[in-house]
C-alpha cells in the first residue's frame, strides 16, 4: 500500500504523516506498540501522575490522549473504510483530557487502555479490503483517507512518545 498523498489529509496532519517514513504502515504500527509498551511499563506510577513544567499534561494524560486519538482516528477509518461518508466532527483533545480524568487511574490501566485501542486498530486495518484503504470522507471539515488515518495514528503516537522520552531525560 503506497504512502498517502498530501491531498488525502488536512495540512495539519502532515506533521504526523511525515514522522512515518516506512512504506508499509502496518508493521510500523505493530512494532510501535511493542516499543511503546516496553517504554511506558518502565515508568513508575508515581512519576506518571506528575506534571513537569513547561508541559501541561501528566504522563497519564498524554498516554490517555494517545488512546483517545487511537479511538477517534480508528473510528474515522472504520466509517470511511466501510464506505460511510457521513461527515464526522472534530474532537477537542483538551475537553477529552479533562473529562477522562486519567490521573485518577493507575498508570498501568492507562497503558493497558492504549494497548487495547491499538490492538483493535491493528486488527481493523489488517482486515480492511484493499479498496477500503483509498476511501475517504469528511472529518472536522476536511477530507481524509483511510490510508492517511493509519499513518496519522502512528505519527501521532510517535510525536507524543518523543516528548515523553525527553521528559524523563530532561
**How far is Cα 140 from Cα 119, in angstroms, rounded to an integer?**
25
Under the banding of pLDDT at 50, 70 and 90, the label for residue 54 is: confident
- What is the pLDDT at residue 2? 87
Mean pLDDT computed over 15-37? 97
Q: Is the pLDDT of residue 170 over 60?
A: no
- What is the pLDDT at residue 3? 94
The pTM of this model reads: 0.96
Q: Are the CB atoms for 57 and 67 separated by under 8 Å?
A: no
Nearest to 104 by CA among 49, 59, 56: 49
User: 88 has which bridge partners?
Assistant: 139
**How far is Cα 146 from Cα 149, in angstroms, rounded to an integer?**
5
Structural domains of the chain in order of their starting residue, each with its CATH number: 6-169 (1.20.120.450)
Q: Are the CB atoms for 163 and 112 separated by under 8 Å?
A: no
Mean pLDDT computed over 8-13? 97
Q: Give 36-53 pLDDT, tens digit per residue.
A: 999 999 999 999 999 988
Q: Give 58-99 pLDDT, tens digit per residue.
A: 999 999 999 999 999 999 999 999 999 999 999 999 999 999
% of the chain residues with pLDDT over 70: 99
Residue 162's Cβ-count burial label (10 Å; 0-12, 13-18, 19+) is exposed
How many degrees, rounded to 5, is the angle at CA 76 between CA 70 and CA 81?
A: 120
Amino acid at each position: 500500500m503506497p504512502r498517502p498523498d498530501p491531498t488525502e489529509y488536512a495540512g495539519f496532519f502532515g506533521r504526523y504523516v511525515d514522522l512515518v517514513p516506512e512504506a508499509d504502515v502496518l508493521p510500523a504500527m505493530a512494532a510501535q506498540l511493542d516499543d511503546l509498551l516496553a517504554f511506558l511499563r518502565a515508568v513508575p506510577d508515581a512519576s506518571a501522575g506528575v506534571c513537569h513544567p513547561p508541559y501541561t499534561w501528566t504522563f497519564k494524560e498524554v498516554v490517555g490522549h494517545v488512546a483517545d486519538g487511537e479511538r477517534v482516528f480508528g473510528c474515522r477509518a472504520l466509517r470511511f473504510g466501510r464506505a460511510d461518508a457521513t461527515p464526522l466532527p472534530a474532537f477537542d483533545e483538551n475537553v477529552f483530557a479533562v473529562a477522562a480524568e486519567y490521573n485518577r487511574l493507575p498508570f498501568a490501566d492507562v497503558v493497558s487502555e492504549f494497548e487495547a485501542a491499538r490492538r483493535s486498530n491493528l486488527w481493523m486495518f489488517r482486515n480492511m479490503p484493499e479498496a477500503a484503504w483509498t476511501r475517504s470522507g469528511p472529518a472536522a471539515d476536511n477530507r481524509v483517507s483511510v490510508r492517511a488515518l493509519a499513518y496519522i495514528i502512528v505519527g501521532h503516537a510517535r510525536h507524543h512518545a518523543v516528548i515523553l522520552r525527553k521528559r524523563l531525560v530532561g
